[in-house]
Structure 1
């Protein structure tokens, strides 16, 4: 059954055309239309929150990032180019980048806390060895990911941190499925090489 919704008096199907509706709303938001912003939020906030929550897992942090995403959308809607992609994809890309930035910041904070805790508290190396080892491995993965080209890194992060299938990533990014498969294969190959792991 096809669901319909009414936005600004216009009936719109709740299917793939939401991307086109989002694009129209973003153009109006760029002109300072608060009603369009409210409609855009109603249209996309649950989907955006779901993406952020899949990356961050923590609900309260996800809610904070959701607010940051829509603030950025309000402030930068003028940069959206309707002829270059769907509005929904543009907003979801902002959300994904914000969520990944939060993960990186959180990991850096955890790593710093572990280092300071070992040094300042005189904690025995044996009692935190496993945590430190995991942090080091995580740091190596983040460093290795940073060496990848953006398209490969984005596909791998969406898959492994976001939990998206290759088909979902293709839709999210707006690229053919074959391209996503190639990016992931090449990215994994480079990661193995960067980390000194034999295939």
Structure 2
């Protein structure tokens, strides 16, 4: 008989087509302060989360710092995860990606301050400055355009282009068929182009 069961306070579908989301179950326990569940969650996902962060940051030591920040946030905010709104793994990877991007922006801001200070001492051709500003503005436009997409499309594109995952890996991560991921990415890219006024 199909239906929902409750495992340690977390509702899990018994539907044969909907496999148990073990990460969601662990997050439910973590939300209640279960340290053993937290350790299990860390062991299960830390290497995947670290890989995602490292792809964004490149720098290993910074990636290790961000990894710790991600799991600290998971410990503190696991109660905010809503199982029926998405996969536990995707929720955690989204936190990791956001933290990594925040670190990139923070590092970029620091680098920009250093560059501005350096500009006072050297003569920089105006074309280089204009190109740098244009690239930065374009990046901001992409981030803003991504924010307008439906969550499923944004998640697929973010994991592919910022996380470096293949379509098959994304399908496994979010628990969706490969064809669905391909459709989400195609439709997402179309909407992204329209939002940015790019003609194909």
TM-score of the superposition, structure 1-length normalised?
Answer: 0.71
Which string of whole-angstrom CA distances, capped at 9 and with x for unpartnered residues, describes residues 3-62 of structure 1?
A: xxxxxxxxxxxxxx9952x44433332222223322322222112111211222222221
Offset of residue 72 of structure 1? 1.3
Q: Check the 8 A contact 1:18/1:88 in 2, yes or no.
A: no
Give 1:90 shift: 3.5
Q: C-alpha separation between the residues in 2 aligned to 1:81 and 1:72?
A: 16
Partner of 2:78: 77
Which string of whole-angstrom CA distances, capped at 9 and with x for unpartnered residues, describes residues 60-111 of structure 1? Answer: 221122111111111122334556665444433322332234345555x269
- The corresponding residue for 1:36 is 37
- Structure 1 pair 43–150 and aligned structure 2 pair: CA distance change class (3 A): closer
> Do the aligned partners of residues 29 and 120 (structure 1) sit closer, same or farther apart at CA in structure 2, a change above 3 Å counting?
same
| Residue 4 (structure 2) aligns with | none
* Root mean square deviation of aligned Cα: 3.2
Q: Does the CA-based 8 Å contact 1:158-1:169 persist in structure 2?
A: yes
Contact 1:89 1:172 in 2 (8 A): yes
Change over 3 Å in CA distance of 1:31–1:191 after alignment to 2: closer
Q: Which residue of 2 aligns with 1:25?
A: 26
Contact map agreement 2:66 2:100 (CA 8 A) in 1:
yes
Q: Distance in 2 between matches of 1:149 and 1:111?
A: 33
- Using the TM superposition, give the Cα deviation of residue 159 of structure 1 relative to its aligned residue in structure 2, in angstroms: 0.9
Give the Cα–Cα distance (whole angstroms) in 1 for the partners of residues 114 and 136 of structure 2.
9
Q: Residues of 2 paired with 1:194 and 1:73: CA distance?
A: 33
**Structure 1 residues 105-159: Cα deviation after superposition (integer angstroms, max 9, x where no partner):** 555x269648955986685324534433332332332333233333322221211
Gaps spanning 5+ residues in structure 1: where? Answer: 1-16
Q: Is the 8 A contact 2:57 2:104 kept in 1?
A: yes
Instruction: Please identify, of 65-74 and 126-135, the stretch whose mean Cα deviation from structure 2 is larger.
Output: 126-135
Structure 2 distance, partners of 1:40, 1:72, is 13
Unaligned 5+ segments in structure 2 are: 1-18
8 Å CA contact retained: 1:151, 1:183: yes
Give the superposition deviation at 1:166. Answer: 1.5
How many aligned positions are there? 181
Does the 8 A contact of 1:117 with 1:123 survive in 2? Answer: no
Secondary structure of 2:185's counterpart equals helix
Mapping of residues 1-199 of structure 1, within 5 Å: 20=22, 22-81=23-82, 86-107=87-108, 109=109, 113=113, 116=116, 123-124=123-124, 125-199=126-200
CA distance in 1, matches of 2:145, 2:86: 29
